[in-house]
């Protein structure tokens, strides 16, 4: 095999390279021309010394070859947008979890096979080449991945839209599992370079921090002095699926200018102070979510947020004015008919006062006109109801960093109060909670979510249940003021990355049985599988695809953890950020109970047990101690269970290290059961639940987030439901406080087993304490693990029984895929386009 020879020395590939003459074929789609174009890049866009053509070199040359075509399509798309001048959407997000780009790009461009053949001619294997790419992980979890799925759908639907974000040097950390548990190490995705970004040296905007507000003689105000950095644009192409439309993800990088470099000081040996502003510029985009425990950490995060908002809005205004230039007369009031700005959570809230400032102080608009433009332009998506995740910025810090914006925010707050008093005096008592400023003298803060609700024309939640909770709880007071401001937009995922490309085996079966590939862009067509869910041939094909994916996954697990798992066991997976509300602790307690029971059984009794492999993966925030203890516990349980010869053919527990987009692409196709078991009312939506279900994986879960809708779509008989509902949670917490909670013996037994030292001597008491007592900080089982545990274990028994009936299980699996059509991000984005942004497709012919 070519790939193995290459891995051995790379010389065979170099020899093959010699035989293919390098030639520029930017639009090649025949393997021979593609190979020539790859070779062209290997020769004439060199990044390495010329003697090697190993998988790494092949990756960079292939990516550059793909970029040729993307650039062509990109330019055509820009041109089309320029010509048609449609209303455009600008999606502002502090996070994008793009993952790898190569396999996605050649899939969307429909040149996958051509690249596979071309690389073969060059002595390489596409799969191995693809593995060379580092994940672009400029995000934490669901929120960032959602933004990336949205970009894919915007491009595929030919929508005139842009993504804006920051070009962090270090994205999400790499998770290392050691004897101590999780360790974080910096992941430099730009270490060599990213072939997917194009720096736009002509797109640069100044961004100011600190300084003061100057009052002009005419009464206008101007923000002056302070520090000024340059925001430089790096564009990443986002190709649509089988369309020429290719849109941009514009990532800003902070720079200081050469004028800020003190040559005199430098020559005088004062190297640090000579380049002070340069090193401060580097800090801005150095890391995603710098720790904010310290004051300087908080300041840095606020700087990042403002940097994104200011650069993006200047760019948006610049583009708007560019179109208007040369036209006889135009008005700022037309701005909202050309521009829609979507705030992805509250992180880019400063776009609101920044747009006000740019319109008033730079463009000379009055308050009322600027406010009218701003509020008709901006919309806000809420992604959480967790109080600790609702951003509140210290007024003291804000006055220091952004004095003009604080003036504007105070004015918005003042006018909001006046409006309520004038129009809804009955809400007077609610005002302290509704207003933007919280002037608590101990710690005066700005409530970013309130600023968004007051200023945006539309506010949306991300699943029906979540949107209902926003209306009835978090934002309930605003509903009577603006009855139609709150909407729901249930999240979605791109079917390209999350089925078509990550699971080609299953995709081919679906295409064969539906007799069309249209489902890739019209996911509702999957319902067509329902009528053949009982068909023995389909079931056999379905089972063999699943088995192939499970085997691939088992090899991966062996490679990264050293644990060998049995592809004939039930593959049960929970992967997501580690958080107490997501209740990985319940999962591992269940595994512990299962282990204990297995130990107590006779060999004959064990023979009736459904063998299981429980896989748990996810990153814990570096300073979140309980989350880290959970990671440690899963690893410790795995160490004991997996090496216990008595039971380890019936149970394995594996912690999957460094969960990220690429790992998800491997895990999800090989999964049979996945756990989405958050405390009801706490997970806004979840999106991995959609990915698993789309890939024919059954869900055990609570009535939370999008689980509710998934269950509705696929049928309740195909969903393993358990646990309290969202409306019961407050009462259950009260009852617990009043000492009325009676734990299930199974729950007590599992905890006791940990305390007995069965999984080592690590001190798990602080973690277990969180489940004890009826009240108190970090106690009293706030997430209701104890309450839901018995119904969870019962549901797990139903899973074991169902898995024994292979035909039934396969039918449920097919029905999961068949019912997942609603969860395409194409559906979500079409709804945003129609119901929030009011934009239409602008297709490159
Ligand atoms: C997350 C929610 C998820 C949801 C994603 C995408 C934040 C603040 N929220 O449930 O926890 O699926 O957003 O909407 O990261």
pLDDT at 8: 40
The whole-number average pLDDT for the span 608-617 is 97
Check pocket membership of 616 for ligand 1, CB cut-off 6 A: no
pTM of this prediction exceeds 0.75: yes
Least confident range of 48-52, 265-269, 301-305: 48-52
Which of ligand 1's atoms lies nearest the C-alpha of 383? 9
Cα-based torsion angle of the residue sequence 616, 618, 620, 625 in order, rounded to the nearest 10 degrees: 0
pLDDT at 328: 78
Query: Rounded CA gap, 356 and 53, in Å?
Result: 53
Question: Is residue 192 predicted with pLDDT exceeding 50?
Answer: yes
178: enclosing H helix or E strand:
strand 174-178
Question: Is residue 833 predicted with pLDDT exceeding 60?
Answer: yes
Which residues on adjacent β-strands are paired with residue 616? 574, 655
Question: Is residue 761 predicted with pLDDT exceeding 90?
Answer: yes
Query: Rounded CA gap, 2 and 129, in Å?
Result: 12
Ligand 1 binding pocket mutation candidate from 93, 141, 452, 490 (most atoms within 8 A of CB):
141
Ligand 1 binding pocket mutation candidate from 93, 140, 143 (most atoms within 8 A of CB):
143
Question: Is residue 9 predicted with pLDDT exceeding 50?
Answer: no
Question: Which is catalytic among the residues 250, 691, 736, 751?
Answer: 691
Phi and psi at residue 170, to the nearest 5°: -105, 115
DSSP states along 546-565: HHHHHHHHHHHHHHHH----
3-state helix/strand/coil string of 348-413: CCCHHHHHHHHHHHHCCCCHHHHHHHHHHHEEEECCCCCHHHCCEEEHHHHHHHCHHHHHHHHHHH
Which of ligand 1's atoms lies nearest the C-alpha of 462? 14
CA of 382 to the centre of ligand 1 (A): 9
Q: Are 789 and 732 in contact (CB under 8 A)?
A: no
Q: For residue 83, indicate whether it is catalytic.
A: no
Query: Rounded CA gap, 665 and 51, in Å?
Result: 33
Least confident range of 266-280, 346-360, 714-728: 266-280
Which of ligand 1's atoms lies nearest the C-alpha of 684? 10
Question: Which is catalytic among the residues 124, 383, 676, 733?
Answer: 383
pLDDT at 3: 38
CA of 145 to the centre of ligand 1 (A): 9
Q: For residue 691, indicate whether it is catalytic.
A: yes
pLDDT tens digits for range 323-352:
887 787 899 999 999 999 999 999 999 999
Check pocket membership of 181 for ligand 1, CB cut-off 6 A: no
Query: Rounded CA gap, 579 and 686, in Å?
Result: 13
Question: Which is catalytic among the residues 174, 576, 676, 751?
Answer: 576
Q: Pick the closest to residue 680 from 806, 601, 582, 778 (CA basis).
A: 582
Q: For residue 742, indicate whether it is catalytic.
A: no
- pLDDT tier at 404 (50, 70, 90 boundaries)? very high
Determine what percent of the chain is predicted with pLDDT higher than 70. 99
Tell me which residue has its CA closest to atom 9 in ligand 1: 383
Question: Is residue 12 predicted with pLDDT exceeding 80?
Answer: no
The whole-number average pLDDT for the span 751-757 is 98
> Mean pLDDT of all residues in the chain?
96
Other CB atoms within 10 A of residue 671 CB = 25
pLDDT tens digits for range 621-667:
999 999 999 999 999 999 999 999 999 999 999 999 999 999 999 99
The whole-number average pLDDT for the span 746-768 is 97
Interacting residues of 152 by C-beta distance below 8 A, sequence separation 6+: 104, 108, 238, 240, 241, 494, 496, 497, 825
Question: Which is catalytic among the residues 87, 242, 552, 577?
Answer: 577
pLDDT at 11: 58
Ligand 1 binding pocket mutation candidate from 462, 464, 467 (most atoms within 8 A of CB):
462
Check pocket membership of 686 for ligand 1, CB cut-off 6 A: yes
Query: Rounded CA gap, 381 and 343, in Å?
Result: 6
pLDDT tens digits for range 94-132:
999 999 999 999 999 999 999 999 999 999 999 999 999
Which of ligand 1's atoms lies nearest the C-alpha of 686? 12
pLDDT at 148: 98
CA of 662 to the centre of ligand 1 (A): 19
Query: Rounded CA gap, 690 and 816, in Å?
Result: 10
DSSP states along 63-112: HHHHHHHHHHHHHHHHHHHHHH---EEEEE-S-EEEE--HHHHHHHTT-H
Q: Are 93 and 163 in contact (CB under 8 A)?
A: yes
Q: Are 829 and 150 in contact (CB under 8 A)?
A: yes
Give the number of C-alpha atoms closer than 13 A to the C-alpha of residue 659, restricted to the C-beta side. 24
Check pocket membership of 685 for ligand 1, CB cut-off 6 A: yes
Check pocket membership of 386 for ligand 1, CB cut-off 6 A: no
CA of 146 to the centre of ligand 1 (A): 8
Give the number of C-alpha atoms closer than 13 A to the C-alpha of residue 758, restricted to the C-beta side. 20
Q: Are 103 and 540 in contact (CB under 8 A)?
A: no
Q: Are 673 and 809 in contact (CB under 8 A)?
A: no
The whole-number average pLDDT for the span 523-545 is 98
pLDDT at 15: 79
Q: Pick the closest to residue 581 from 479, 731, 773, 729 (CA basis).
A: 729
pLDDT at 17: 79
Centroid of chain to Cα 800: 32
CA of 473 to the centre of ligand 1 (A): 18
Query: Rounded CA gap, 824 and 491, in Å?
Result: 8
SS3 label, residue 825: helix
Q: Are 210 and 401 in contact (CB under 8 A)?
A: yes
pLDDT at 124: 97
Tell me which residue has its CA closest to atom 13 in ligand 1: 143
Q: For residue 577, indicate whether it is catalytic.
A: yes
pLDDT tens digits for range 422-432:
999 999 999 99
- pLDDT tier at 2 (50, 70, 90 boundaries)? very low
Q: For residue 112, indicate whether it is catalytic.
A: no
DSSP states along 308-331: HHHHHHHHHHHHHHHHHTT-S---
């Amino acid at each position: 095999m070519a790939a193995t020879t290459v891995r051995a020395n790379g010389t065979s590939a170099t020899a093959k390279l010699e035989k293919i003459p390098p030639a520029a074929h930017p639009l090649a789609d025949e393997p021979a021309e593609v190979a020539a174009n790859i070779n062209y890049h290997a020769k004439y866009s060199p990044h390495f010394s010329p003697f090697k053509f190993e998988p790494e070199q092949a990756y960079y040359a292939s990516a550059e070859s793909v970029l040729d075509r993307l650039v062509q399509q990109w330019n055509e798309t820009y041109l089309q947008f320029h010509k048609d001048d449609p209303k455009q959407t600008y999606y502002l997000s502090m996070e994008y979890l793009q993952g790898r780009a190569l396999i996605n790009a050649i899939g969307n461009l429909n040149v996958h096979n051509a690249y596979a053949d071309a690389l073969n001619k060059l002595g390489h294997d596409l799969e191995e080449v693809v593995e060379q790419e580092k994940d672009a992980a400029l995000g934490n979890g669901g929120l960032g991945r959602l933004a990336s799925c949205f970009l894919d759908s915007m491009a595929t639907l030919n929508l005139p839209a842009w993504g804006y974000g920051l070009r962090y040097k270090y994205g999400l950390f790499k998770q290392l599992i050691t004897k101590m548990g999780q360790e974080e190490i910096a992941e430099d995705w730009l270490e060599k370079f990213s072939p997917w970004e194009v720096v736009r040296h002509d797109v640069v905007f100044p961004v100011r921090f600190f300084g003061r507000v100057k009052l002009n003689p005419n009464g206008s105000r101007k923000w002056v002095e302070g520090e000024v950095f340059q925001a430089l644009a790096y564009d990443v192409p986002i190709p649509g699926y089988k369309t020429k439309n290719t849109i941009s993800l514009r990532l800003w990088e902070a720079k200081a200018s050469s004028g800020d470099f003190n040559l005199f000081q430098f020559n005088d040996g004062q190297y640090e102070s000579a380049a002070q502003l340069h090193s401060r510029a580097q800090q801005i985009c150095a890391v995603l979510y710098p720790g904010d425990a310290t004051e300087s950490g908080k300041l840095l995060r606020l700087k990042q947020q403002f940097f994104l908002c200011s650069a993006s809005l200047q760019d948006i205004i610049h583009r708007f004015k560019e179109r208007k230039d040369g036209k006889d007369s135009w008005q700022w009031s037309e701005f909202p008919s050309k521009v829609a700005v979507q705030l992805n959570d509250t992180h880019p809230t400063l776009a609101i006062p920044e747009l006000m400032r740019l319109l008033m102080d730079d463009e000379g608009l009055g308050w009322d006109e600027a406010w009218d433009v701003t509020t008709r332009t901006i919309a806000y998506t809420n992604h959480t109801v967790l109080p600790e995740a609702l951003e509140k910025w210290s007024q003291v810090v804000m006055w220091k960093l952004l004095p003009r914006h604080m003036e504007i925010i105070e004015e918005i707050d003042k006018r909001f109060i006046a409006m309520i008093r004038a129009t809804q005096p009955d809400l007077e008592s609610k005002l302290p909670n509704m207003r933007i400023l919280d002037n608590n003298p101990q710690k005066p803060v700005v409530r970013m979510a309130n600023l968004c609700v007051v200023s945006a024309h539309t506010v949306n939640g991300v699943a029906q249940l979540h949107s209902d909770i926003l209306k009835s709880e978090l934002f309930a007071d605003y509903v009577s003021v603006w009855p139609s401001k709150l909407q729901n937009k249930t999240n979605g995922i791109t079917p390209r990355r999350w089925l078509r490309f990550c699971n080609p085996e299953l995709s081919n079966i679906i295409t064969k049985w539906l007799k069309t590939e249209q489902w890739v862009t019209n996911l509702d067509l999957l319902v067509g599988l329902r009528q053949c869910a009982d068909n023995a041939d389909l079931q056999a094909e379905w089972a063999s695809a699943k088995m192939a994916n499970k085997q691939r996954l088992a090899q991966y697990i062996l490679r990264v953890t050293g644990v060998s798992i049995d592809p004939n066991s039930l593959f049960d997976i929970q992967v997501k950020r580690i958080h107490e509300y997501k209740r990985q602790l319940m999962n591992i307690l269940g595994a512990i109970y299962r282990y204990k029971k297995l130990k107590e059984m006779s060999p004959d009794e064990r023979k009736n047990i459904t063998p299981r492999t429980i896989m748990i993966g996810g990153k814990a925030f570096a300073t979140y101690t309980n989350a880290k203890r959970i990671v440690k516990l899963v690893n410790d349980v795995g160490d004991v269970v997996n090496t216990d010869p008595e039971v380890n053919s019936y149970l394995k527990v594996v912690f999957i290290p460094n969960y990220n987009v690429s790992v998800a692409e491997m895990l999800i196709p090989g999964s049979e059961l996945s756990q989405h078991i958050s405390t009801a009312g706490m997970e806004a939506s979840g999106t991995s639940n959609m990915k698993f279900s789309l890939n024919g994986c059954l869900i055990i879960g609570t009535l939370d987030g999008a689980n509710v809708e998934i269950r509705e779509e696929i049928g309740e008989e195909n969903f393993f439901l358990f646990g309290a509902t969202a409306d019961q949670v407050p009462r259950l917490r009260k009852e617990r406080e009043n000492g009325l909670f009676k734990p299930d013996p199974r729950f007590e037994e599992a905890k006791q087993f940990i305390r007995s030292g069965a999984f080592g001597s690590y001190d798990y008491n602080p973690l277990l304490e969180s489940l004890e007592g009826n009240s108190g900080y970090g106690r009293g089982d706030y997430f209701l693990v104890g309450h839901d545990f018995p119904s969870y274990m019962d549901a797990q028994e139903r899973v074991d029984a169902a898995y024994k009936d292979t035909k039934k299980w396969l039918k449920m699996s097919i029905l999961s895929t068949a019912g997942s059509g609603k969860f395409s991000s194409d559906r979500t984005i079409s709804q945003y386009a129609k119901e929030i942004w009011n934009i239409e497709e602008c297709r490159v012919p």
